[in-house]
């Protein structure tokens, strides 16, 4: 089926209390592995392309390849721009056929975040795409002890209510104790804060920085109101380790190493689909 905006699947997941996984991919091998898992598990899934990649030569070709693969899939798949850094970047993604865009103004003054998010919402809605924004800031795991552990940058629930009302955004990424990349220290989620945000806004809530959380933390976050969960680092680390292991074999080959990465993405994305309760929901 054609790529679809994730809007409807997020609404279904929010009502059904399960999570929709969002996986960042950087190449065709990872993408192929992820599509194999999508069919294996019959899980509605979001494929994400990181904003840093959208300006590279060939980004439109990559997006087109994903669109073709989705059209051959029997399960709904969405393509989102992850962490769009500007209005212009979001528009570029929309012209490349992305079904959804994230504008990340989380490090801007809040009024500026509201202003640009509102513009992206107007443009995206005009072409049927949904928009995710971020309020509060999900930082890097390498700095975790200095911010996450100190509750720095966490989302303010009252501001979240105002932000959603003023921007008309379709989903909201919140800062509740997760971080991108590998955590220095142990991640600690503020589920009470999450529940308070959930009470105040009705759009699906998004948790970035999934890699490194425990199964219990994922389940508790979904229970407390998270609907979309982003995972990237763990997929790359696991596939990288498998490629290195495969390369050490006496009969190691180029194709063997690529297939190790493909199968690693297949297995690891399937694991998250199962864990989030998305398996079988298509």
Instruction: Let me know if 199 is exposed, middle or buried by CB neighbors in 10 A (0-12, 13-18, 19+).
Output: exposed
How many beta carbons lie within 10 A of that of residue 82, not counting itself? 25
Residue 233 is a binding residue for ligand 13P (CB under 6 A): yes
Q: Which of residues 152-191 bind ligand 13P (CB under 6 A)?
A: 180-181
CB 44 within 8 A of CB 277: no
CB 261 within 8 A of CB 33: yes
Active-site residue, from 8, 27, 82, 100? 82
Whose CA is closest to 37, among 9, 68, 75, 71?
A: 75
Residue 119 backbone phi and psi in degrees, to 5? -65, -45
CB 264 within 8 A of CB 234: no
184 vs 53: CA distance, rounded Å: 26
Residue 238 is a binding residue for ligand 13P (CB under 6 A): no
With contacts defined by CB under 6 A, name the span among 73-81, 121-129, 230-238, 273-281 that binds ligand 13P.
230-238
Q: Where are the strands (E) in 208-268, listed by range?
A: 226-231
Residue 98 or 259: the one with the smaller Cβ distance to ligand 13P is: 98
Residue 209 is a binding residue for ligand 13P (CB under 6 A): yes
219 vs 213: CA distance, rounded Å: 10
Among 193, 221, 232, 261, binds ligand 13P (CB under 6 A): 232
Residue 19 is a binding residue for ligand 13P (CB under 6 A): no
Residue 230 is a binding residue for ligand 13P (CB under 6 A): yes
Residue 272 backbone phi and psi in degrees, to 5? -70, -35
Among 82, 134, 170, 259, binds ligand 13P (CB under 6 A): 82
Residue 35 or 218: the one with the smaller Cβ distance to ligand 13P is: 218
With contacts defined by CB under 6 A, name the span among 164-172, 205-213, 247-255, 258-266 that binds ligand 13P.
205-213
Q: Which of residues 125-154 bind ligand 13P (CB under 6 A)?
A: none
For this structure, is 8 an active site residue? no
Please give the residue ranges that form the binding site for ligand 13P (CB under 6 A). Answer: 24, 82-83, 180-181, 208-211, 230-234
Catalytic residue IDs? 82
């Amino acid at each position: 089926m054609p790529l679809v905006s994730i809007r409807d699947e997020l609404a279904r997941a929010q009502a059904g209390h399960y999570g929709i996984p969002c996986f960042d991919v950087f190449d065709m091998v990872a993408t192929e592995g992820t599509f194999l898992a999508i069919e294996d598990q019959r899980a509605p899934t979001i494929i994400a392309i990181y904003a840093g990649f959208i300006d590279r030569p060939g980004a439109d070709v990559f997006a087109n390849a994903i669109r073709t693969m989705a059209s051959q899939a029997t399960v709904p798949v969405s393509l989102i721009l992850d962490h769009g850094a500007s209005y212009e970047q979001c528009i570029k993604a929309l012209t490349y056929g992305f079904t959804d865009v994230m504008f990340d103004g989380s490090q801007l003054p809040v009024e500026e975040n509201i202003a640009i998010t509102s513009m992206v919402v107007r443009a995206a809605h005009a072409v049927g795409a949904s928009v995710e924004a971020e309020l509060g800031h999900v930082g890097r795991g390498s700095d975790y002890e200095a911010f996450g552990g100190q509750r720095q940058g966490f989302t303010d629930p009252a501001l979240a209510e105002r932000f959603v009302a003023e921007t008309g955004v379709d989903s909201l990424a919140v800062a509740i104790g997760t971080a991108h990349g590998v955590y220095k220290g142990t991640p600690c989620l503020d589920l009470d804060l999450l529940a308070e945000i959930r009470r105040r806004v009705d759009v699906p809530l998004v948790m970035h920085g999934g890699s490194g959380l425990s199964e219990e933390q994922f389940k508790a976050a979904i229970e407390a109101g998270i609907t979309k969960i982003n995972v990237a680092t763990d997929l790359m680390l696991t596939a990288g380790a498998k490629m290195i292991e495969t390369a050490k074999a006496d009969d190691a080959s180029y194709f063997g190493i690529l297939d190790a990465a493909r199968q690693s993405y297949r297995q690891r994305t399937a694991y998250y689909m199962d864990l989030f309760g998305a398996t079988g929901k298509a």
